[in-house]
């Protein structure tokens, strides 16, 4: 509504039902665990970015683009199951990141605003540099063959939530 207003970044860690607490506490707890150096909960990770537009370019060619909506980086843990995917898809689609028609912040989600979602698989969300050599370790990330299947399953769950025409 205000073209001069900047969009803010928001990072949410998505945790399955068996590991979550109250929604705000779950996010705070996950961030505290990450910052304190102890192991974070083992679950799928999403990084959400509100965008005015987003695109993916491969070898100089745009392969996907969206207008206003959410860019979501998707990190799959080696032990993620369908239950985790369903929970995180619901959380992604229900996250209230926009103001309502009365101008109250954090009242409407991507579906209510009829916006788009772009999903990008990002195994590096499970990168760990806590070893002595400070080299990235991606052992907690799901391996590529299984990750492709789970990522496609996640995409179909999100598409069923918001409509396939709104998902890239």
Which residues are the active-site residues? 122-124
For residue 47, give the nearest of 70, 30, 66, 28 by alpha carbon: 70
Residue 9 contacts by C-beta under 8 Å, 6 or more apart in sequence? 49, 50
Q: Which residues contact 135 (CB under 8 A, 6 or more apart)?
A: 129
Give the DSSP H or E segment for 33: helix 23-36
CB atoms within 10 A of CB 5: 7
> DSSP characters for 52-102?
S-EEEEETTEEEEEESSEEEEEEE-BTT--HHHHHHHHHHHHH---B--TT
d(CA 106, CA 95): 9
User: What Å distances lie between residue 31 and 20, 35, 81, 152, CA to CA?
Assistant: 13, 6, 22, 27
């Amino acid at each position: 509504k205000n073209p001069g207003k900047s969009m803010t970044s928001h990072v949410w860690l998505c945790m399955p039902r068996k590991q979550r607490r109250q929604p705000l506490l779950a996010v705070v707890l996950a961030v505290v665990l990450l910052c304190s150096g102890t192991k974070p909960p083992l679950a799928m990770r999403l990084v959400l970015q509100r965008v005015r537009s987003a695109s993916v370019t491969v070898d100089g060619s745009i392969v996907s683009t969206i207008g206003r909506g959410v860019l979501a980086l998707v990190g799959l843990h080696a032990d993620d199951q369908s239950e985790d995917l369903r929970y995180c898809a619901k959380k992604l689609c229900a996250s209230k990141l926009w103001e309502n028609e009365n101008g109250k912040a954090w009242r409407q989600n991507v579906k209510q605003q009829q916006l788009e979602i772009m999903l990008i698989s990002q195994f590096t969300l499970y990168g760990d540099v806590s070893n002595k050599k400070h080299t990235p370790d991606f052992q907690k990330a799901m391996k590529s063959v299984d990750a492709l299947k789970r990522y496609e399953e996640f995409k179909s769950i999100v598409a069923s939530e918001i409509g396939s025409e709104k998902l890239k």
